[in-house]
Amino acid sequence: MMDREKRFEFHETNATLLWFLMDGLWMMGFKILPAIIAFPAVVIGCLILVYADKTPHLLAVIIAGSTWIFMDICWMIGENFEVRGMHLLSCIMFWTTFLCLAYSLIKSKNYRESAYETLSGFRRMKIKK
């Protein structure tokens, strides 16, 4: 059985892979398949929040990652299916991501450590040796 940290990493990795697949298919001109893949990416993004530590700093970083995915999905849906308002929603998700990252940086007592911790938590693929 996986512990909480392993489940967190498992779901985060799967969300990243789905996001990569969604973006790649969208870039190649597919419309329906990336929209279908967006659904499990969102579900897994929610699971990441369930398994994340509940500290304000980490939650801000996790929310930033999720809103980044949502920004991309809104942009894709707006562009592929000409849904009005999706560009505005995408812009709102961008600023939400930005504000969450800024909050995470500001909450630290030591800026250098906070910047490293925030950015290392925000990157999508974490390779361990």
Q: Is residue 25 part of a domain?
A: yes
Confidence (pTM): 0.83
Domain region containing 51: 4-122
Is residue 17 one of the residues assigned to a domain? yes
pLDDT bin (cut points 50, 70, 90) of residue 81 is: very high
Task: Provide the pLDDT for residue 101.
Answer: 87
Q: Classify residue 129: in a domain, yes or no.
A: no
**For range 12-35, the mean pLDDT:** 94
pLDDT for residue 29: 96
> Is there a domain that residue 45 lies in?
yes
**pLDDT > 80? residue 114:** no
HEC string for the chain: CCCHHHHHHHHHHHHHHHHHHHHHHHHCCCCHHHHHHHHHHHHHHHHHHHHCCCCHHHHHHHHHHHHHHHHHHHHHHHHHHCCCCHHHHHHHHHHHHHHHHHHHHHCCCCHHHHHHHHHHHHCCCCCCC
Q: Does residue 105 sit within a domain?
A: yes
